[in-house]
A and B are shown apart, each in its own frame.
Chain A
């Protein structure tokens, strides 16, 4: 599928045709399976040197609402979810601001402390933006930075910070953030270091379909070289408390974006409908439009909720399973590498 094909899919009004084609592809890749995970999000700090216009989460140091968790704070949050009887979550997802005073050693210590206290917990941490920042403050360069993190216990990386990769949009959306090219470079390095990652796209703000297509094509091209991406996650823009205008995305655009992503990214195994951002209802429907993953239990979510998320912050495994079954799919509780944890159907 070339750029022109992808454009015509986005421009199509035939959501049923898109949904059916995407479902066919999803079926070939994952059968009837739809995945979820028992996970928890931890944001070590919202203090950030960047000021992305779409972000309602970040604060400056000393600003009202700014916070920074200590390592014992983080351990305490995780301990609540990992009782002696065994962990209630299998993965921790860690992303945060670019803290102006934290050292690379501090970031390493966050990871190694978690690894030490919870040896079985998978640590999925730090977007490409944070990794680039750590490479700068450590002076080690990208590869050595990634290797040091991996050695401390980092298991995989999330796909955030991609936003829209095209420079003209990025300049208006997040001028202080690393370029799209650098984002791809960090991901390529991570894959080379043996670290699997996800990839995201923040849509529904000032971009047009052409920017979305360009974004998908760049991801597909890198994936052809590295095969390091696990899942692609389209993220619906939320307008509240941001410095940008605009409204919420439509449910129809959300479903269409899932379907087109599934069709264009033929070298990605998984398309995730992240329920925090799409809402439970659209996430469930996305399973009929090419998605095969609805993320997880989450427990606590700060970033989207700062920007007016209309969802709760937590779903139980039972609720996730019910959404999947009622969509006619087979629920699979997965680990961080899409291996079945246990049979839940």
Chain B
């Protein structure tokens, strides 16, 4: 490719280009980056330590008030048994995320991380930028200080959640209480500078315009140019079930993102993010069949087996699958399935 795709070109591609042309371009980039026809996945479990959250984002169906009847804070014993079960199933990572709980402080998180690392050898991929900021702010320390403390206590890597759309115009509508774009990027940059790897996500299909999507992709690409710390990019679509955003406030009512729209954004992500090695297909939001097709529209990773998943499931979308289903899906799509670790090192093929 001669030179990089510019923002203006990307916008044209997203708005005008035929789906199959976009897919073909993304597919040929994926082939160059990953010529070995391997599609990777990780065996891990999503552990949501609490659903209590003060942010109450309108696109989210998972959060509860502190005194809601189904509000919870995970007991330590249950947490440990979930981790043991993950290891027993060949898992290498836990994805630990939760709400911004008003009565938890940094000591809680430090103790949580230490208690896990004392007992288990497992990668803790945890706390998206809104949680990191919340932990830092409530301890009245800087993001850098908070990340240092958490890392020393056992935090290995950081998930890319909470990015939503990195445009404050959209954040004002869908998540006014959540950290702004600049802070999300600041957490990621600081983590990368401390030597921690992270992913980056994008939730599209709510109220954003194509321009907002380009702003998002460009912010991620620009930061990656400076740090190289992102392992993967994971675009997924807004799931409207049980969310305030779909119930009102927005007219006309939001329709679920269709397959064509998902693949367009996925393919454009592969084309634009020339400095990120891996693009994940999201079977948990798109289903296995579309995730298979996504492997020809730029994706080279199938994400996680998700022994447990709660956040997407709370919107009523539940594509629960086994590790075998994932292996078979990758294979029947024409690729060699391989289990990987958090850092995309392959642990073995199937």
Binding site for B on A (CB under 8 A): 13, 15-16, 19-20, 23, 247-255, 278-282, 284-285, 288, 310, 319, 322-323, 326-328
Contacts and interface: CB of A to CB of B under 8 A. Distances in A.
B334 interface: yes
Given A250-B329, A252-B333, A282 B289 contact: yes
B23 A284 contact: no
A328 B260 contact: yes
B333 A327 contact: no
A284 B293 contact: no
Nearest to A250: B332
Interface of B: 19-21, 23-24, 27, 255, 258-263, 286-293, 295-296, 319, 328-329, 332-334
29 contacts: A15-B296, A16-B21, A16-B23, A16-B27, A248-B288, A250-B329, A250-B333, A251-B288, A252-B296, A253-B332, A255-B293, A279-B287, A281-B258, A281-B259, A281-B262, A281-B287, A281-B290, A282-B289, A282-B290, A282-B293, A284-B258, A284-B259, A310-B287, A322-B255, A322-B258, A323-B258, A326-B258, A326-B261, A327-B260
Nearest to A254: B289
Contact of B260 (A16, A253, A288, A319): A288
A252 B334 contact: yes
A278 B328 CA distance: 18
Contacts of B259: 280-282, 284-285
Contacts of A16: 20-21, 23-24, 27
B258 A252 contact: no
Q: Which residue, of B258, B291, B332, B333, has the highest number of chain A Cβ atoms within 10 A?
A: B258
Given A252-B332, A255-B293, 19 more contacts: A16-B20, A16-B24, A23-B20, A248-B288, A250-B333, A251-B288, A251-B290, A252-B292, A252-B296, A278-B289, A281-B286, A281-B290, A282-B259, A284-B259, A285-B290, A288-B19, A288-B260, A310-B319, A326-B260
Contacts of B27: 16
A15 B19 CA distance: 12
Given A20-B20, A247-B328, A254-B289, A284 B334 contact: no
A178 to B, nearest CB: 31
Contact of B289 (A13, A20, A248, A327): A248
Contacts, number: 79
A284 B260 contact: yes
B15 to A, nearest CB: 12
A103 B295 CA distance: 52
Nearest to B291: A251
Contacts of A280: 259
A252 B293 contact: yes
Closest 3 CB pairs of A and B: A251-B289, A281-B259, A250-B332
Nearest to A281: B259
B332 A19 contact: no
A280 to B, nearest CB: 8
Nearest to A329: B260
A250 B289 contact: yes
Contacts of A278: 289
A181 B280 CA distance: 47
B271 to A, nearest CB: 14
A13 B334 contact: yes
A251 B23 CA distance: 15
A252 B332 CA distance: 9
Contacts of A247: 328, 332
A277 B104 CA distance: 48
A253 B262 CA distance: 19
Contacts of A255: 293
B32 to A, nearest CB: 16
A328 B260 CA distance: 9
Contacts of B21: 16
A16 B26 CA distance: 11
A15 B21 CA distance: 11
A285 B20 contact: no
Contact of A251 (B19, B262, B293, B328): B293
Contacts of A285: 259-260, 263, 290, 293
A251 B258 contact: no
B57 to A, nearest CB: 25
Nearest to B258: A326
A16 B259 CA distance: 16
B322 to A, nearest CB: 12
A258 B19 CA distance: 17
Nearest to B324: A247
Contacts of A250: 289, 292, 329, 332-334
